[in-house]
Amino acid sequence: MPKIKHIALSTQDVDATAKFYIDVFGMKEIAKLDGPGARGYYLSDGDLNLAILNFKNDAVAGVERGKEWSGLHHIGFQVESLEEIAERLANAGSQPRDDVNQALGVGHGRTNHGNVEVKYNGPDGVMLDVSQTGWVGTTGLGY
């Protein structure tokens, strides 16, 4: 069964937002990032990876939100098989976010470059990440 292992928040103040989750909920800073698409933090409670992100351009953020948007951006599920979940997502009417996948340099058939392998459309405008390899600071699929 897939498990939620990753949630991403888009914010204009990554330092204050990360500090809130560290101070209030005791999350640990796992990594600080400053890449071509976003800067921010990866926090973890030991089981779930929380990304606090400030996107640097609209293409990486997804044009429907843009780099200035703040709020829930996407949810990541670790799965046993990318092929199996792709079929299930397609059957549910969810399509890959080719625009964002291309902007990030990720997607089906590409080598994993970190914590995301493929992004999809989800209901209510929430983007979905799926990954076979998981996210930094999480426990994986061990039941």
Instruction: With beta carbons less than 8 A apart as the criterion, state whether 47 and 139 touch.
Output: yes
Whether 71 contacts 10, CB under 8 Å? yes
| Residue 142 in domain | no
Structural domains of the chain, count: 1
What span, in angstroms and rounded, lies between the C-alpha atoms of 56 and 37? 5
pLDDT for 121? 87
More confident of the two residues 124 and 34: 34
Residue 14 lies in a domain: yes
Name the band, by pLDDT with cuts 50, 70 and 90, for residue 117. Answer: confident
What is the CATH classification number for the domain harbouring 119? Answer: 3.10.180.10
> What letter represents residue 99's amino acid?
D
Nearest alpha carbon to residue 48 among 24, 67, 21, 69: 21
pLDDT of 52 reads: 93
Which residue range is the domain that position 22 belongs to? Answer: 3-131
**Kind and range of the H or E run holding 14:** helix 14-25
Is-above-0.85 flag for pTM? no
Residue 73 lies in a domain: yes
Q: Is residue 19 part of a domain?
A: yes
Amino acid symbol at 113? H
Is 15 within a domain?
yes
